[in-house]
Chain A
Amino acid sequence: MNADSYVAIAFWILAIGMVLAAYAVVALPRIIHSALALVLFFFQIAGLYVLLRAEFIAAVQVIIYVGAVTVLFLFAIMLTNRSYAPDSNPANRQWIAAGVVSLGLLGTLLATLGRQTWPTGGQVPANATVLLGQLMLGPFILPFEIAAILLLVAMVGAIVIARES
């Protein structure tokens, strides 16, 4: 039992859990259950990021997705839906076609991945957060500032749209 084995165990637990959670998001008949499954999914993805040694991203994942976006979703559900109805998350008429397309996409992706080989030997530096800071304020400063503007615009727009006039 070395570190790799632990990683493998964790990976498989998380992978299965994530697929199940993702499936639950799609399949559960009540929208609020879907949303909660989504929370579970987000949380597990954070675990996956930890496995990938992206600890900062993992924390961000939990803070943003679990702590913020989910709240947004839950609020939206609670403000709009008759969320207690047993079938608040129905499928539409084209679900069969959607399934076919999704499976087709999956097949395409897997086939492509199967043909692809990747170089190996990547290492994540230990002080990743510091390096991220240097990257974001160095070469990625423009996207960084644009992200700020994007968020500003999103907020202004969303406030204008969401407010009851």
Chain B
Amino acid sequence: MQTDWGNWGYVALFLLIATGFAFIPLVLSPLIRPRNPNPVKQATYECGIETVGTSWIRYYAGFYVYALVFVVFDVETIFLYPWAVAFGLLNWFALIEMAIFIGILLVGLVYAWKKQALRWW
């Protein structure tokens, strides 16, 4: 089996079947399971203690900083893939270029590091 664009057909089919597969339990289980909800059962679970306030509280913005750094690095990583695959066909100049690229990326990493953006608390 060679790599072939046509193989995506199998992926599409796989997606369909996997979706079906994921839904089968959800469809089957109601047939055999009980269903008698009550308010206590449906209350938000916090180890049995009465819930205080809404679940909307202010979360630590550090989460977002992680996501931010992640996005940037993700994009940069993606840019590396074509280079990696084409590496055998590229000359030393491309190596230098990529070194520059990764160097810039490293500057970002060092910055984030020094700014304590990568520290949890």
Binding site for B on A (CB under 8 A): 3, 6, 10, 47, 50, 53, 55-56, 60, 63-64, 67-69, 71-72, 75-76, 78-79, 82-84, 126, 129-134, 136-138, 141, 144-145, 147-149, 151-152, 154-156, 158-160, 162-164
Contact = CB atoms under 8 A, between A and B. Distances in A.
Interface residues of B, number: 50
Interface stretch (B22-30, B31-39, B66-74): B66-74
A144 B101 contact: yes
Contact of A159 (B65, B83, B84): B65
Most A CB contacts (10 A, CB to CB) among B11, B54, B74 go to B74
Given A50-B11, A76-B64, A147-B75, 4 more contacts: A71-B71, A152-B108, A155-B111, A163-B65
A84 B82 CA distance: 42
B90 interface: yes
B67 A72 contact: yes
Interface of B: 3, 5-6, 8-9, 11-12, 54-56, 58-59, 61, 63-65, 67-72, 74-76, 78-79, 81-87, 89-90, 93-94, 97-98, 100-101, 104-105, 107-108, 111-112, 115, 117
B117 A144 contact: no
Name B's interface SS: helix
Contact of A136 (B9, B64, B79, B93): B79
A74 to B, nearest CB: 9
Contacts of B117: 159, 163
Contacts of A60: 78
B85 A129 contact: yes
Contacts of A163: 61, 65, 115, 117
Given A145-B101, A156-B108, A53 B82 contact: no
